[in-house]
A and B are shown apart, each in its own frame.
Chain A
């Protein structure tokens, strides 16, 4: 259903600004504060480990619902503890009790684990790392301190390692948080901004609808946790952490970025993080261009003007012109790498038209029409070509392009509006009226009036849901404990 993809409702994620008032933080270059980790945090960490194992990807089951119900302060602590767990997991011999965590560009935080807590962290690390037989873990007598679930988990980790992939908890952990975010299980998303802790990273989301910023609130940081976890991936067949060398991490960034654009759940920072890992990936470059193109749209621009952004947060959305220029850069980059990328040319052509560079737009759009086979994409290209030709006062060529668009989607209203306005502009009132008559003859119900232009902003992400299913699939087929 096309209406589902309209930009009527969307979310824009804001990052805590690095310019957050220093009075909230201790001065100096060192860690802001030493945080003493409590036993309760370790209990939640254990719950999380078990949730990663018991959760069935794609399902709003109890493990995902439990983790999703945690408020932001607990998620932030979890984020830091997962980070230390993954370090411990990879190095069972380590007897460190203090860890400096640097999450998402924030100032470093020093986490101190008292003796009982560091022992528990190491025990959990032995299970999550599948290292129960490691001398350091044997010395800890983990066999006596771990329950059946954790022992079974360790066995599965070992089995995966034998298959060449030593990322069992890492991948499943990332999928757990992906599901919490995509299945809308994050209850913390409604927290008021005044509850922000600012010790750890925060995310604010702006709910937008029909060009207005409706609500601003803290959101669950599940995407950030998933990203952080995936930073610990060791590509199969290697023994070094290197997420940029892992195909699943690339697939994850492509898929989640596409899913976000499909569902108008915009987070430019997420895409940027993906591009930091995979700077030459045409898919991520293309999606980045699409995001900036969307950010230039009247709906996003007016929402941002209307939204009241809390102090300490920033949004990286520039003026419409600036966003179009950024989009142009990305699309040109994609085309330079993949000259047959018709969809990038289509979007570049539209962007150039909006930047009043109509002759360049015509060139790109004409080439894209030769390259594209998808009917909606052909429709967009004809419509945009018509607009560019009209701007160049090539009225006959414009009319022909609009008519071709109308031929592709007879029930779409935009070509009729375009043809009528063009005729009116040429002084042909009768033709203008005839075109409007055709618009009035279209089905009046929105569900029946099929104009792909209404979902243009999501067309690039049309496979987002299927891609997410494909991402989950290898983990669904596993036999569960």
Chain B
């Protein structure tokens, strides 16, 4: 959600893939807030909405919508994939297949990155339009070790924050976190400050992480339960399609305090539709 560190609109479109270090020069203090919004009617996305169709309240205070874009801002898709020991073998192959399907579904202006994790968190491929490099890193992954979902998710958020694009995290884990150093509440706090949207996929029958559910809920995404890793391909593609159908709404907060938790309510005027967006954002230090 990144108040104070984002350029918006056309400038975001111009942001190119670059190493993280080169991106750490954000110094433009534009007090804007971006919210990814999914509008659906009967389960189907509602298209064609414009800025004045939206009503946004920040801590209950109505805001002026600056910009709405739909399917215009390129995506930064960050795959956050569990390659721990329990995923090794056929499951990993199915996970890799699902990842490749996402890459195939991207457009030429989109970017992708790969963060893999066991107890080791690795940037398999940096955020880039070079999808072949991401595909190659995906193919090279092998299963071992324990699970550091929380550490990996934080890392992926930082990959997303290093670029001004529209970040979508697709996280898969087949179980609970057993090895992260970072605490779940700290990373959820970081998620409240980030404008990345996280979607998750978890195995239905296994003990799963409440962290993943909390994270996706906080960022406006969803955690999908799958019966087995065979279903991941379909689930990942569903996530990508859903994200493409989201509106990117931005506004400059007015009449609200700078720091603390800001509850966001996004509504569509004069329409009985379902609106899905992050519930709020955190500003200032904690």
Contact = CB atoms under 8 A, between A and B. Distances in A.
A453 interface: yes
Given A209-B85, A444-B120, A446-B144, 5 more contacts: A299-B146, A302-B207, A424-B193, A429-B24, A430-B26
A440 B123 contact: yes
B155 A211 contact: no
Contacts of B24: 429-430, 433-434, 437
A436 to B, nearest CB: 4
Nearest to B86: A210
A426 B182 CA distance: 16
B147 interface: yes
Nearest to A427: B285
Nearest to B157: A424
A437 B86 contact: no
A427 B192 CA distance: 12
Interface in B110-167: 118-124, 126, 144-147, 151, 154-155, 158-159, 161-162
Interface in B181-219: 181-183, 186-187, 189-190, 193, 206-207
Contacts of A297: 178
Nearest to A306: B207
A350 to B, nearest CB: 12
Nearest to A395: B285
A418 B120 contact: no
Contacts of B118: 446
A284 interface: no
A421 B161 contact: no
Contact of B181 (A9, A306, A417): A417
A212 interface: yes
Contacts of A451: 119
A421 B180 CA distance: 13
B270 interface: no
Contacts of A429: 2, 5, 24, 26, 161
B84 interface: yes
Interface string A427-448: 1011011101101100010100
Nearest to B20: A437
B72 to A, nearest CB: 25
B177 interface: yes
Contacts of B19: 437
26 contacts: A3-B145, A7-B178, A8-B146, A209-B85, A209-B86, A210-B85, A210-B145, A211-B207, A212-B86, A212-B175, A298-B177, A302-B207, A305-B207, A413-B181, A414-B181, A417-B182, A421-B186, A424-B190, A426-B285, A427-B4, A429-B2, A432-B161, A436-B20, A436-B155, A437-B24, A440-B20
Interface of A: 3, 6-9, 209-212, 297-299, 302, 305-306, 383, 387, 413-414, 417-418, 420-421, 424-427, 429-430, 432-434, 436-437, 439-440, 444, 446, 449, 451, 453-454
B21 interface: yes
A454 B119 contact: yes
B70 to A, nearest CB: 28
A299 B86 CA distance: 13
Contacts of B273: none
Contacts, number: 131
B121 A413 contact: yes
Contacts of A414: 181
B19 to A, nearest CB: 8
Contact of B121 (A3, A383, A439): A439
Contacts of B119: 6, 446, 451, 454
Contacts of B2: 429
Contacts of A425: 186, 189-190, 285-286
Contacts of A426: 285
B179 interface: yes
Contacts of B4: 427
A454 B179 contact: yes
The 3 closest A-B pairs by CB, nearest first: A299-B178, A414-B181, A302-B176
Contacts of B158: 420, 424, 432-433, 436
Describe B's contact surface by its main secondary structure: loop
A418 B182 contact: yes
Given A414-B181, A439-B155, A421 B187 contact: yes
Contacts of A3: 144-145
A290 to B, nearest CB: 17
B176 A298 contact: yes
A106 to B, nearest CB: 33
Nearest to B189: A425
Contact of B178 (A210, A418, A421, A444): A210
Contacts of B146: 6-8, 210-211, 299, 454
B106 to A, nearest CB: 22
B260 to A, nearest CB: 13
B207 A433 contact: no
Contacts of B89: none
**Interface core residue of B2, B20, B146, B151 (most chain A CB under 10 Å):** B146
Contacts of A444: 120, 122-124
Contact of A421 (B124, B154, B159): B154
Contacts of A424: 158, 190, 193
A436 B21 CA distance: 10
Contact of B120 (A209, A383, A449): A449
Contact of A418 (B181, B285, B286): B181
Contact of B175 (A210, A421, A436): A210
Contacts of A299: 146, 176, 178-179
A446 B85 contact: no
Nearest to A436: B158
Nearest to B206: A212
A211 B174 CA distance: 10
Nearest to A446: B120
B48 to A, nearest CB: 35
B178 A453 contact: no
Contact of B161 (A8, A433, A449): A433
A117 to B, nearest CB: 50
B15 to A, nearest CB: 15
B79 to A, nearest CB: 15
Given A439-B155, A446-B120, A454-B119, A433 B23 contact: yes
Contacts of B60: none
Given A210-B85, A437-B20, A298 B181 contact: no
A425 to B, nearest CB: 6
Nearest to B137: A444
Interface string B267-286: 00000000000000000111
Contacts of A446: 118-120, 144-145
Nearest to A434: B24
B169 to A, nearest CB: 15
Given A424-B190, A425-B190, A425-B286, A6 B145 contact: yes
